[in-house]
Structure 1
Amino acid sequence: MKILTKKIGILSLALAMSISSCKEDFLEAIPELDLSDATVFSTPQRVESQVIGLYGSAKNGSLFGGRYLIYNDIRAEEFVNRTTNSVTGYSTYQGNQDPSDTYIAGFWNQGYLTINRANLFLEGLAANPNAVSTTLAANYRGEAKFLRALTYFSLVQFFAKPYILDKGASAGLPLRLKGETSSANNELARSSVAQVYDQILKDLNEAESELPDNYTTALLRTTRAHKNTAIALKTRVLLAKGDYAGVITEANKIVSTAAPFKSANRVAHELQADVSSVFKAPYTSVESILSFPMAETNSPGTQNQLGYYYNVGNVEYYLNTGPTGIYSNPQFRATDDRKTKLTVATTSVAKFPSPTKFSGVSPYIDFVPNIRYAEVLLNLAEAEAEAGSQTRALALLQAVHTRSDATYTFPALDKAGLIQAILTERRIELLAEGFRANDIVRRGQPINSFGAGASIAPTEARYIFGIPTTEIQTNPGIGK
């Protein structure tokens, strides 16, 4: 069995140089293994190792293995900083991050490094049609396109204005779809937000058609993309685009018409009876649609790990118990399993509540969830409330909430109240999983920043992250 905690594959080592949208040392370094395409595609094992390497690049601690999630959560109102440590996101927490911030540049660099590796792999696979079977080639293409889409979507959420403000007309990202091994093609202007979204959805539609229905083990099903993974991510992307009809169409592929909500197609996704089980070993329940695995040999790295920020022995950030934080919201009752089982009221370090979804200690090898079925149900609930059946929206909301708080009853809700209840539920269910800031921004709402002590309006420059200084310096086209 191939586990995704292997070291980054051969191609990632051989082509560890990238374009301007990566660190300069990747442009200057001599590859550790100077292997030709013919060599790295010479055996099926080497081809698969490259695919595993793509996941390894995506789960880096600077990206989906840690900081990307953390910075999305600490920007808003759910967390309070304890340490004032500049290394662990304090400027972002205060709302005064700037383009010279090396940690924010780390998202950009690692994101584009991952994108470039996917591009190089897709080109190499096309140039070596006999490297693996037709079926495997389609599988691997789908995985590369899925990871490219996931990365582009996450970056455009951070570094560009939300689609909903102007239907994607504003400047997005440099859209790099060609593999680069030198700085020759550094200069590239930003495509519009709409163009970036179009490419993301193109990749996901193609990935859905190419990916397998399932894998042979629960571990592979959870840690490698399959058709339902691409569909689930599409619901997230379309929700951010405000395409509610599109969300409903996609979600209906993997969500039943009525409760109990589950998938009848390919993988039988459904909510687990005990929400806390999703965050415990072996991390492979059918609620987990995609997670990034960790091991002692490839943990996220110092001060990147989710557990380092939140667990009871360290507590860089603890939960805001004031009126703006979700912890004190009446929809999040004291008897809710997500409070009793996934937070701790006090810790040895700080006498404040802290989340315990990632309770591991060094070397911090908790799997990092990226897509859960609970999110898909809430994506669908929001879309139904906005543009479909409010009855079904409420049923989906109840399914997620009563899984953890069985006796809770929602009051009579009009459309606006129902949407607000669903958005509140997202804050409860997805707490500490990296959704909060993006959920605010995708709807064009002000960021109620606890760290800044202010409401940050969509018109302010700090509402989104500025393009990193390193990119501006190496890509003359970025301002065009």
Structure 2
Amino acid sequence: MKRIRYTFNRSAIIALLAAAMLATSSCSKYTELEPINSPSENSAFQSPSSIELAMQGVYEAAAVGSYNGDKASARGYPFGAAAIEQDEMRGEDMLNVALFYAITYEATYTTSSANNVNMWTGLYALINQANVMIRGVQAAAANGVIPAETAAAYEGEARFLRALAHHELLIHFSFPYADNNGSKPGVPYREKAITSQADVNEGLTIGRGTVAEAYAKLLADLDYAETNLPVTQTKGLSRATKGAAIALKTRIKQHMGDWDGVIAEGAKLGTDKQPTGHFTSPIGAYTLTASPETPFTSFKNNTESVFSIANGPNANGGTNGALAAMFGPADKGARGLVATSPILYNASFWVEGDLRRKLLQVNQVVGEKYVFNYKYRDYVNKTDYAPIIRYAEVLLNVAEAYAKKGNTAQALLLLNDVRNRSVPADKQFTTAPADLMLAILQERRIEFAGEGRRWPDLHRLALDPAYGSNGIPAKMKAGQMKLDGSDYNNITPPTFPATGGVKAYLYTEYQFLWPIPADEVAANPLLREQQNEGYK
């Protein structure tokens, strides 16, 4: 039971529950719709202690999951590492050094390529486990095993994770909300636990619906979570809270272009104020740490991280998936597979003297060819938490909303709160830059480098006439890089050849979306008819 990542008594109850909900009992692997073992599910909800273990099992599914059906080589699917890595590899700000991420990086994925298939199956496995948890605690409350308010709090955690998982599916398998106001096909939004063959059959009748319908359900889940989750959790940043639900809503409404909604949700977390110092949330007391480094050096306990996925020495993404292993340099014990791209490192908007270039980037000493992200540093035990949402994101989400609504003053205050802790005094904005929106979007690229926020921004802004990429941007190839590391020069940036890199893909080309996996469409006639165009 190495993969149960929390330090608790590894009882047979949680082992059976996790295995039953994640295992595949037949040759098909579609959407984890195989029935779970009902007796083990029932036993998991017969006492408060076993219910807590079951909840920890849901988080374990979020952090570790499985890879090609094997939990022993899970690679951090979906949120322990894989979501961050895949979202970075779909963007241009980090560089694929070897072949490991080439399929995602170069957009050559198919209906059977491993990373996109495992994201689909891992996310739906998590969703089903969350749904089993919801049904289980509802029954436990009805039977007097736990109080109703305790059951509601557990349900809030499960709904938070269910919403997070469905949104990750939407940004890869569906077009953005901005495309025809969410009328394009979404993803199946699964709200019912699969516990019998009848449930499997019912599940196969649920189609993709629309993007707008999925977003409405996301918000319903998060509204419930906000209402029923506690402000703080005794187990720290790796358990969902009221503030986490609100923070995630600022992201969801941002993707919808609901700027009034972003501002309203942000106000609950203090972003409508004009502070004399840093912005501070009245819920959860979130505020930026003094150094941009602290959320990553004190990842278990800091004022800025709103919600993270826990990793530990006995349960993490492993050598082939953990954040430190993938993003770190080989001379420090990592694999050195993903570097920071000169596209970002040399960008003119990343000013000289920015602490994030000094503190959160690191050279590989041997060879000096690449610069790597330095947010994840435990190369031995791989215990770095995976950041899901930080207060810095809330501030920049709301800054963007205020800029869209024409409130330049508040937008600048929020932008500066994030930016000024890192840039030298002579580079700070005293008045709004000529293109404030562009400055906010550029700040996001620097602040969240290595945290998986680049693809979500490219996805939601793809059709924006001023700031969108109109698809997947062109990227650098490792083969274009010089051996001496001189390509990393933000003072006098080198010029790279116009050819030899990874080609861009237009929004209208089918590669913009991932395909629904082959196993899914083979077993599910409804989704077979709803496959993304361009894939067979």
Give the TM-score normalised by structure 1: 0.91
| Paired residue secondary structure (1:298) | coil
CA change 1:102–1:42 in 2 (3 A) is same
1:49 paired residue number: 53
CA change 1:409–1:30 in 2 (3 A) is closer
Determine if contact 2:305/2:387 at 8 Å carries over to the other structure: yes
Structure with more contact order per residue of length (Cα contacts < 8 Å, sep ≥ 6): 1
**In structure 1, distance between residues paired with 2:351 and 2:360:** 13
CA displacement at 1:328 relative to structure 2 = 1.2
1:309 paired residue number: 326
Determine if contact 1:239/1:379 at 8 Å carries over to the other structure: yes
1:35 paired residue number: 40
CA displacement at 1:362 relative to structure 2 = 3.3
**In structure 1, distance between residues paired with 2:304 and 2:5:** 19
CA displacement at 1:347 relative to structure 2 = 3.4
Q: Single out whichever of 346-355 and 297-306 deviates more from structure 2.
A: 346-355
1:448 paired residue number: 473
CA displacement at 1:93 relative to structure 2 = 0.6
2:73 paired residue number: none
Q: Single out whichever of 165-174 and 4-13 deviates more from structure 2.
A: 4-13
Out of 333, 340, 347, the position equivalent to 1:319 is 340
CA displacement at 1:346 relative to structure 2 = 3.8
1:474 paired residue number: 523
CA displacement at 1:406 relative to structure 2 = 3.9
Determine if contact 2:225/2:245 at 8 Å carries over to the other structure: yes
1:180 paired residue number: 194
Q: How does 1:276-315 map to 2 (within 5 A)?
A: 276-313=293-330, 314-315=335-336
Determine if contact 2:175/2:184 at 8 Å carries over to the other structure: yes
Determine if contact 2:231/2:283 at 8 Å carries over to the other structure: yes
**In structure 2, distance between residues paired with 1:15 and 1:440:** 34
Which residue identity lines up with residue 250 of structure 1 in the other structure?
E
Determine if contact 2:250/2:398 at 8 Å carries over to the other structure: yes
CA change 1:5–1:115 in 2 (3 A) is farther
1:153 paired residue number: 167
Would you say 1:199 and 2:217 are equivalent positions? yes
Percent of aligned positions that are identical: 31
Q: Single out whichever of 296-305 and 206-215 deviates more from structure 2.
A: 296-305
Q: 1:239-268 CA deviation, whole Å, 9 max, x = no partner?
A: 011111100000010024113343342311
1:380 paired residue number: 398
Determine if contact 1:4/1:55 at 8 Å carries over to the other structure: no
Which residue identity lines up with residue 60 of structure 2 in the other structure?
G
1:139 paired residue number: 153
| Paired residue secondary structure (1:80) | strand
Q: How does 1:284-433 map to 2 (within 5 A)?
A: 284-313=301-330, 314-321=335-342, 325-348=343-366, 350-407=368-425, 408-410=427-429, 413=432, 417-433=435-451
Which residue identity lines up with residue 242 of structure 2 in the other structure?
K
**In structure 2, distance between residues paired with 1:28 and 1:383:** 42
Q: Single out whichever of 460-469 and 146-155 deviates more from structure 2.
A: 460-469
**In structure 2, distance between residues paired with 1:351 and 1:414:** 35
Would you say 1:258 and 2:274 are equivalent positions? yes
CA change 1:52–1:276 in 2 (3 A) is same
Determine if contact 1:207/1:227 at 8 Å carries over to the other structure: yes
1:463 paired residue number: 512
Q: Single out whichever of 94-103 and 245-254 deviates more from structure 2.
A: 94-103
Larger of the two Rg values belongs to structure: 2
| Paired residue secondary structure (1:369) | strand
**In structure 2, distance between residues paired with 1:439 and 1:153:** 13
CA displacement at 1:330 relative to structure 2 = 2.6
1:15 paired residue number: 21
Unaligned runs of 5+ in 1: none
Unaligned runs of 5+ in 2: 65-75, 463-467, 477-500, 531-536
Determine if contact 1:4/1:223 at 8 Å carries over to the other structure: no
2:455 paired residue number: 437
Determine if contact 1:10/1:46 at 8 Å carries over to the other structure: no
| Paired residue secondary structure (1:15) | helix
**In structure 1, distance between residues paired with 2:368 and 2:78:** 27
**In structure 2, distance between residues paired with 1:381 and 1:223:** 26
Determine if contact 1:62/1:103 at 8 Å carries over to the other structure: no
Q: How does 1:76-155 map to 2 (within 5 A)?
A: 76-84=91-99, 88-129=100-141, 130-155=144-169
CA change 1:194–1:474 in 2 (3 A) is same
Determine if contact 1:72/1:437 at 8 Å carries over to the other structure: yes
How many residue pairs are counted as aligned between the two chains?
Answer: 467
| Paired residue secondary structure (1:299) | coil
| Aligned-residue CA RMSD (Å) | 2.5
**In structure 2, distance between residues paired with 1:208 and 1:393:** 25
Determine if contact 1:244/1:383 at 8 Å carries over to the other structure: yes
CA change 1:395–1:50 in 2 (3 A) is same
**In structure 2, distance between residues paired with 1:25 and 1:151:** 13
Give the TM-score normalised by structure 2: 0.82
**In structure 2, distance between residues paired with 1:394 and 1:326:** 23
| Paired residue secondary structure (1:354) | strand
| Paired residue secondary structure (1:404) | coil
CA change 1:151–1:329 in 2 (3 A) is same
Out of 209, 230, 246, the position equivalent to 2:245 is 230
Determine if contact 2:81/2:317 at 8 Å carries over to the other structure: yes
Out of 208, 230, 234, the position equivalent to 1:190 is 208
CA displacement at 1:100 relative to structure 2 = 1.5
Would you say 1:73 and 2:92 are equivalent positions? no
CA change 1:243–1:24 in 2 (3 A) is closer
Determine if contact 1:83/1:316 at 8 Å carries over to the other structure: yes
1:246 paired residue number: 261
Out of 72, 77, 81, the position equivalent to 1:62 is 77
